[in-house]
Amino acid sequence: MVQPLPPDIAIARAATMLPIDAIAARAGIPADALIPYGRSKAKIDRAFLEALDGRPDGKLVLVTAVSPTPAGEGKTTVAVGLADGMNRIGCNTLLALREPSLGPCFGMKGGAAGGGFAQVVPMEDINLHFTGDFHAITAAHNLLAAMVDNHLYWSNDLRIDPRRVSWRRTVDMNDRSLRDICVGLGGAANGLVREAGYDITPASEVMAIFCLARDLADLERRLGNIIIGYRRDLSPVYAREVNAAGAMTVLLRDAMQPNLVQTLENNPVLIHGGPFGNIAHGCNSLIATRSALKLADYVVTEAGFGADLGAEKFFDVAARTGGLHPDAAVLVATVRALKMHGGQRKSELGRENLEALRAGCANLARHVRNIGLFGVPVVIAINRFDADTDAEIALLKEQAARLGCEAVESTHFRDGGGAGAEALARAVQRLADSGLSQFRTLYDDDMPLWDKVCCVARTIYGAGKVVADQKVLDRFRQYDAIAGRFPVCIAKTQYSFSTDPGLLGAPTDHAVSVRDVVLANGAEFAVVLCGDIMTMPGLPRRPAAEGIRLNGSGEIEGLF
């Protein structure tokens, strides 16, 4: 019988971490370019990163996945294992990941530092306050909200229509009670009474700007371009008009420097920025990715949720904005997830079911096809679980071969990235070095925003039609006049190609319902809200926070 592994936090706590300057040296970063946050993490000085511009770029590898299920896929563990495996076989590799949000840590999903023996450490710090980047983003966002309400209170010289203030507040916590609120209650001294609300910090436009800005000057320009509301004549009002961009940039100055940590196998990792993949663009900062490309021969990065969300946005938003050219993609699949897509219940996943697996491979096939539309070659990483049978693994490899892809089994979770992902690393190296990538975006800049949504929905999601109320269609036309060349960032359920989270597999001819569109003018994309997706999640019936505490030795228990 296979012995269960210790909890992730116990594995992380037992790790032998090297001093952060030793990790920096492995990445070619001198000690005087570090801003240490204790002994095991540091920020990298912007002056050093700016001096890298003349260097050639390494090869860029994107890790994405099939549509997620409660069975688990392990995209981050694959990314960590792959980076360890590539370094093991002699490829100078840097890993670039997103920072975890407190919302999922205390909610249902848990942390985002990997798992088993494929983790980044210090795991507890990374999953909690880390270096304070999320707090800085939250503070900058809410400063703008306070300045908008202050302007309304004192003069409203800009003639902002209080009914059309679109800038909400943010907090890095799942709190459904804050989705819609009233501000200014309690009398005239407390400001103008109006409806408002909160989004979770990973969905903040400031987070998106933080992750897409080239440098501090670009950051301030984008922050100034945020639309905070509209006048009665529907002309937009910008953050720069309430004189907020400078102070917001000050709050974000130090946070804009990427964070350096290490894997369990002491390989360097950049962790910076943390937008969600379902309600935001789901990629770590361009500053971190571009810096990694200058420092290493290979860069492994990851995009949130399935390839229909994170990968599409990485290609159409992040790569378009940052001038990136992905050389290869890794599509993470598990037997468990594909069996769920094939109709098997979660409670029965420990039982071999080849028919459910075969049916569920329709989801895999759709994602392989979609990645191919961007001209990027793909390898399938089979993230093996202990209950997977040899027959199931063989069938999955057979199905991958039918799709024209190599599928490589990886056991990084149990065996560590270096040993468990070595075969995957060799396959990825071959693909990245092959020169097969002919990267292209899915749609042209000049297409109207609505047409871009329809292109993604029909091409990537397999939709038969895209529907919206007339007032939403009018808003699309209004935004075309302001920023028609922007890409679209579609917010929808992560569990299905459709807007119905219960419609698993690879549905076709379904209707994508567009509920609203919001112009993220500073981030330079339009956020398209589909179905019942919320930009402020709620906690589950039994949140993870109920089991998190300090023990008698002052150590954290229950964090996963």
3-state secondary structure 304-335: CCCHHHHHHHHHHHHHHHHCCCCCEEEEEECH
Give the pLDDT of residue 70.
Answer: 87
Conformational region of residue 234, where left means phi above 0, alpha means psi within -120 to 50, and beta covers everything else: left
Range 12-40 average pLDDT: 96
The set of residues, in sequence order, having a beta carbon less than 8 Å from that of 474 and lying 6+ positions away, is: none
Q: Same domain, yes or no, for 477 and 498?
A: yes
The answer to whether residue 366 sits within a structural domain is no
Give the pLDDT of residue 108.
Answer: 80
The answer to whether residue 42 sits within a structural domain is yes
Cα angle, residue 540 at apex, residues 534 and 542 outer, rounded to 5°: 170
Q: Same domain, yes or no, for 192 and 238?
A: yes
Among 106, 65, 67, 58, smallest CA distance to 86 is for: 58
Give the pLDDT of residue 302.
Answer: 97
The answer to whether residue 59 sits within a structural domain is yes
Q: Same domain, yes or no, for 314 and 174?
A: no
**Distances, alpha carbon 331 to alpha carbons 46, 174, 433, in Å:** 33, 29, 18
Give the pLDDT of residue 417.
Answer: 77
Cα angle, residue 499 at apex, residues 520 and 67 outer, rounded to 5°: 95
For residues 405 and 368, the answer to whether their CB atoms sit within 8 Å is yes
Q: Same domain, yes or no, for 45 and 152?
A: no
For residues 77 and 413, the answer to whether their CB atoms sit within 8 Å is yes
The answer to whether residue 63 sits within a structural domain is yes
| Tally of structural domains, the chain | 3
Q: Same domain, yes or no, for 105 and 158?
A: no
| Joined tokens for residue 556 | 């954290």
Range 488-509 average pLDDT: 95
What's the rounded Cα separation, in Å, for the pair 323 and 222?
18
For residue 149, the domain's CATH number is 3.30.1510.10
Give the pLDDT of residue 296.
Answer: 98
Range 294-300 average pLDDT: 98
What's the rounded Cα separation, in Å, for the pair 131 and 129?
6
The answer to whether residue 103 sits within a structural domain is yes
Range 341-361 average pLDDT: 94
Confidence band for 109, pLDDT divided at 50, 70 and 90:
confident
Among 102, 98, 116, 124, smallest CA distance to 38 is for: 124
For residues 256 and 273, the answer to whether their CB atoms sit within 8 Å is no
Q: What is the pLDDT of residues 64-75, one digit of tens each?
A: 999 999 887 899
Q: Same domain, yes or no, for 160 and 76?
A: no
Q: Same domain, yes or no, for 99 and 180?
A: no
For residue 326, the domain's CATH number is 3.40.50.300
Give the pLDDT of residue 1.
Answer: 58
What's the rounded Cα separation, in Å, for the pair 163 and 362?
46
Burial 163-173 (b: 16+ CB within 10 A, else e): eebebbbbbbb
The full DSSP string for 103-144 is HHHHSSS--SSEETTEEEESHHHHHTTTTSHHHHHHHHHHHH
Range 173-197 average pLDDT: 96
**Distances, alpha carbon 458 to alpha carbons 40, 370, 440, 453, 461, in Å:** 46, 11, 18, 9, 6
Q: What is the pLDDT of residues 330-339, one digit of tens each?
A: 999 999 999 9
What's the rounded Cα separation, in Å, for the pair 407 and 414?
19
Q: Same domain, yes or no, for 140 and 76?
A: no
Block residue for tokens 């599928």: 407
The answer to whether residue 537 sits within a structural domain is no
pLDDT at position 508 over 70: yes
The answer to whether residue 234 sits within a structural domain is yes
Block residue for tokens 């894997």: 263
Q: Same domain, yes or no, for 269 and 125?
A: yes
For residues 311 and 62, the answer to whether their CB atoms sit within 8 Å is yes
111 vs 362: which has the higher pLDDT: 362
Q: Same domain, yes or no, for 151 and 231?
A: yes
What's the rounded Cα separation, in Å, for the pair 107 and 113?
16
Q: Same domain, yes or no, for 42 and 121?
A: yes
What's the rounded Cα separation, in Å, for the pair 41 and 131?
8
Cα angle, residue 494 at apex, residues 490 and 495 outer, rounded to 5°: 140
Among 242, 233, 96, smallest CA distance to 158 is for: 242
Confidence band for 560, pLDDT divided at 50, 70 and 90:
confident
Q: Same domain, yes or no, for 236 and 261?
A: no
Q: What is the pLDDT of residues 226-255, one digit of tens each?
A: 999 999 999 999 999 999 999 999 999 999
Full domain range(s) for residue 328: 8-131+255-335+411-422
Peptide bond into 122 cis (omega under 30): yes
The answer to whether residue 329 sits within a structural domain is yes
Among 208, 195, 206, 196, smallest CA distance to 169 is for: 196
Confidence band for 559, pLDDT divided at 50, 70 and 90:
confident
For residue 484, the domain's CATH number is 3.10.410.10
Block residue for tokens 């549905």: 507
What's the rounded Cα separation, in Å, for the pair 313 and 208?
12
What's the rounded Cα separation, in Å, for the pair 285 and 293?
13
pTM: 0.96
Give the pLDDT of residue 110.
Answer: 75
Average pLDDT, the chain: 96
Beta-carbon count within 10 A of 52 CB? 15
Conformational region of residue 479, where left means phi above 0, alpha means psi within -120 to 50, and beta covers everything else: alpha
**Distances, alpha carbon 431 to alpha carbons 207, 402, 418, 452, in Å:** 32, 18, 19, 30
Give the pLDDT of residue 243.
Answer: 98
